[in-house]
């Protein structure tokens, strides 16, 4: 079947969206942007196509009624089993790569014992891995680097102590190997993993095994259907480095405007707060950009501002919002610059202000910056759509709602749970238009 794909290469994560001929979103994929943009784009696309397969499984199995009532459980289990298969392959690859790096590292007499310790670490990681993908297991991250990394660090510390080798040798080996593993695309093994995952799922959910044939047939049928990459459009911070011809690149402003319009057709003003920039975009009733303003090359007012504060406070990024929600008092943060705000935060803590009140002040500060960018772009019109990673932060959303009400009155504020994919969706829509409305064909990079 024909697929239209948008890839948004952000500074922190790379997102891809796949839509079909009737402009239904069939798949979304996300990965961490590595130092290698080509790989990030490839993996995000592969994830989105995989997600698309699951969408098609759901459709086919839902139509056939083979899993009446148990569809969600079955597909969730299938996906977990697939992730498990994939994890095992990457883990084996990581082990082989680590062992190769030990051989070339300058550990002197310790080489043999490091290699033995490494084998022990990976033996334990393999036994621990099933639990990571068990039903109800909470994943802190979906990215291999993070999952394997946190397991490796914890287990490595124990093993290093037991075997009396230096922990930093193990760290060094991991750091040198993970980049290599992370930059490999395992596209050939997806179908094989899906088939093994299917077998595993029948074992885990024995009640479905009796209907095996009715379940298997549509899944195998979909696996044999080629998902043709009819047209790909790239956008985002790293778009200039994508392996596409110029025809396949659109600015992130255009893609965000169009993506927000596709998600919420009534959108007139878009605010996007991403990792490294903040954009305010005015769009017409067709999703075409009328004007925009953006804050570039300064972290104040972007997601990175909150990331920096989280580092200063030794907290996780996702913990900031909930903490700020507990605030009972308004504190005004006077610094614009992120580094100065970090210093102000320390001063205020030493003066005895409460963490939650300061946090609320910091969230208000970033939204205040956004309000001024919005004002310069032409103000806020109804409906107003908020996108980007910061739209997931409840304290930022609360501050935005308050400030919009104070300055512009009652407006419809749209926040989509998939707002992180806005740019990629816009890109996919451009890809669809290029082929379906303008009759273009894909072009190779010149």
Partner 1 sequence: MISTIGIDIGSGAVKSALFRSDGDQHEWLAKRCERIRRRDPMQLAQEVYEGVLADAGLKPEAVDYIATTGEGENVKFATGHFYSMTTHARGGVFLHPGINAVVDVGALNGRAIYVDDRGKVLSYKMTSQCASGSGQFLENIARYLGVAIEEIGPLSKTSQNPEKVSSICAVLAETDVINMVSRGIATNDILKGIHLSMASRIVKLLKVTGIKEGSALLTGGLALDTGLLAAIQEEMVNEKVNVTAMSHPDSIYAGAVGAALWGAFRHGKLRELEERAAA
Least distance (Å) from partner 1 to the CB of residue 240? 11
Least distance (Å) from partner 1 to the CB of residue 295? 10
Host H or E run for residue 31: strand 25-32
Least distance (Å) from partner 1 to the CB of residue 374? 21
Which residue from 189, 225, 336, 412 is in contact with partner 1, where contact means CB under 8 A?
A: 336
Torsional sign, CA 415, 395, 145, 205: negative
Residue number, 39 or 416, with CB nearest to partner 1: 39
Least distance (Å) from partner 1 to the CB of residue 202? 45
Would you call 180 exposed, middle or buried from its count of C-beta atoms within 10 A (0-12, 13-18, 19+)? Answer: middle
Residue number, 305 or 384, with CB nearest to partner 1: 305
Q: What does the per-residue mask of binding to partner 1 show for 2-21, with x meaning CB under 8 A? A: ---------x----------
- Rule CB under 8 A: say whether 305 interacts with partner 1: yes
Q: Which of residues 78-107 bind partner 1 (CB under 8 A)?
A: none
Least distance (Å) from partner 1 to the CB of residue 21? 37
- Rule CB under 8 A: say whether 338 interacts with partner 1: yes
Which residue from 299, 320, 395, 428 is in contact with partner 1, where contact means CB under 8 A?
A: 299
Residues counted in the chain:
446
HSE (side-chain half, CA atoms, 13 Å) at 7: 33
HSE (side-chain half, CA atoms, 13 Å) at 201: 27
Residue number, 146 or 402, with CB nearest to partner 1: 146
What's the first-to-final CA gap in the chain, in angstroms?
27
244/42 Cα distance (integer angstroms):
12
175/172 Cα distance (integer angstroms):
5
| Interface region with partner 1, contact rule CB under 8 A, candidates 96-104, 120-128, 292-300, 353-361 | 292-300
DSSP result, 138-181: PPS-SSHHHHHHHHHHHHHHHHHHHHT--HHHHHHHHHHHHHHH
Least distance (Å) from partner 1 to the CB of residue 308? 5
Token couple for 43: 């993996």
Least distance (Å) from partner 1 to the CB of residue 350? 7
DSSP result, 309-329: HHHHHT--HHHHHHHHHT--S
Which residue from 4, 152, 308, 386 is in contact with partner 1, where contact means CB under 8 A?
A: 308
| Interface region with partner 1, contact rule CB under 8 A, candidates 75-83, 151-159, 295-303, 428-436 | 295-303
49/5 Cα distance (integer angstroms):
9
The C-alpha R_g of the chain, in whole angstroms, comes to 24
Residue number, 35 or 104, with CB nearest to partner 1: 35
289: β partners = 283
| Interface region with partner 1, contact rule CB under 8 A, candidates 104-112, 131-139, 286-294, 340-348 | 340-348
Q: Which of residues 342-361 bind partner 1 (CB under 8 A)?
A: 343, 346, 350
Q: Judge whether 300 and 342 are in contact, CB under 8 Å.
A: no
Least distance (Å) from partner 1 to the CB of residue 353? 15
- Rule CB under 8 A: say whether 297 interacts with partner 1: yes
Residue number, 242 or 425, with CB nearest to partner 1: 242
445/335 Cα distance (integer angstroms):
45
- Rule CB under 8 A: say whether 304 interacts with partner 1: yes
How far from 6 is each of 294, 424, 434, CA to CA, in Å? Answer: 22, 5, 12
Would you call 383 exposed, middle or buried from its count of C-beta atoms within 10 A (0-12, 13-18, 19+)? Answer: middle
Residue number, 236 or 287, with CB nearest to partner 1: 236
Least distance (Å) from partner 1 to the CB of residue 293? 17
Q: Judge whether 369 and 278 are in contact, CB under 8 Å.
A: yes
398/363 Cα distance (integer angstroms):
9
How many residues bind to partner 1 according to rule CB under 8 A? 19
Which residue from 276, 293, 382, 416 is in contact with partner 1, where contact means CB under 8 A?
A: 276
**336-355 CB burial, b ≥16 within 10 A, e <16:** eebeebbebbeebeeeeebb
Host H or E run for residue 295: strand 289-295
- Rule CB under 8 A: say whether 246 interacts with partner 1: no
Which residue from 60, 116, 217, 298 is in contact with partner 1, where contact means CB under 8 A?
A: 298
Least distance (Å) from partner 1 to the CB of residue 12? 9
Which residue from 221, 243, 337, 379 is in contact with partner 1, where contact means CB under 8 A?
A: 337
Least distance (Å) from partner 1 to the CB of residue 305? 7
Footprint of partner 1 on this chain (CB under 8 A)? 11, 35-36, 276, 297-300, 304-305, 308, 336-340, 343, 346, 350
């Amino acid at each position: 079947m024909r697929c239209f794909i948008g890839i948004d290469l952000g500074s922190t994560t790379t997102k891809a969206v796949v839509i079909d001929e009737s402009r239904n979103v069939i798949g979304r994929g996300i990965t961490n942007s590595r130092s290698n943009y080509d790989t990030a784009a490839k993996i995000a696309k592969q994830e989105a196509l995989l997600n698309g397969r699951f969408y098609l499984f759901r459709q086919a199995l839902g139509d056939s009624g083979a899993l009446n009532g148990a569809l969600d459980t079955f597909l969730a289990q299938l996906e977990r089993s697939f992730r498990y298969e994939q994890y095992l392959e990457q883990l084996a690859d990581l082990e082989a790569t680590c062992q190769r790096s030990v051989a070339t590292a300058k550990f002197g007499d310790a080489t043999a014992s490091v290699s033995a310790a490494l084998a022990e670490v990976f033996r334990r990681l393999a036994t621990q891995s099933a639990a990571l993908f068990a039903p109800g297991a909470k994943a802190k991250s979906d990215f291999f680097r993070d999952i394997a990394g946190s397991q490796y660090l914890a287990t490595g510390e124990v093993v290093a102590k037991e075997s009396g080798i230096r922990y930093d040798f193990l760290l060094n080996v991991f750091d040198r190997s993970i980049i290599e593993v992370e930059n490999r695309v395992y596209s050939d093994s997806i179908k094989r993993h899906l088939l093994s995952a299917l077998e595993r799922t029948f074992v885990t959910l024995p009640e479905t095994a009796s209907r095996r044939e009715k379940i298997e047939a549509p899944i195998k049928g979909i696996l044999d259907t080629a998902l043709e990459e009819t047209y790909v459009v790239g956008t985002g911070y790293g778009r200039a480095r994508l392996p596409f011809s110029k025809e396949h690149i659109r600015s992130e402003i255009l893609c965000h405007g169009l993506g927000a319009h596709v998600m919420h057709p009534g959108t007139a003003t878009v605010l996007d707060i991403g990792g490294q920039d903040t954009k305010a975009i005015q769009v017409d009733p067709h999703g075409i950009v009328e004007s925009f303003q953006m804050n570039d090359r300064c972290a104040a007012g972007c997601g990175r501002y909150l990331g920096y504060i989280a580092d200063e406070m030794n907290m996780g990024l996702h913990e900031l919002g909930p903490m700020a929600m507990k605030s009972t008092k308004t504190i005004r943060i006077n610094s614009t610059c992120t580094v100065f705000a970090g210093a102000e935060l320390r001063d205020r803590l030493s003066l005895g202000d409460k963490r939650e009140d300061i946090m609320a002040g910091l969230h208000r500060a970033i939204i205040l910056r956004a309000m001024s960018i919005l004002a310069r772009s032409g103000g806020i019109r109804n409906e107003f759509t908020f996108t980007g990673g910061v739209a997931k932060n409840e304290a930022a959303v609360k501050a935005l709602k308050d400030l919009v009400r104070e300055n512009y009155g009652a407006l419809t504020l749209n926040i989509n749970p998939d707002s992180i994919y806005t740019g990629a969706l816009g890109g996919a829509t451009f890809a669809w238009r290029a082929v379906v409305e303008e009759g273009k064909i894909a072009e190779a990079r010149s």
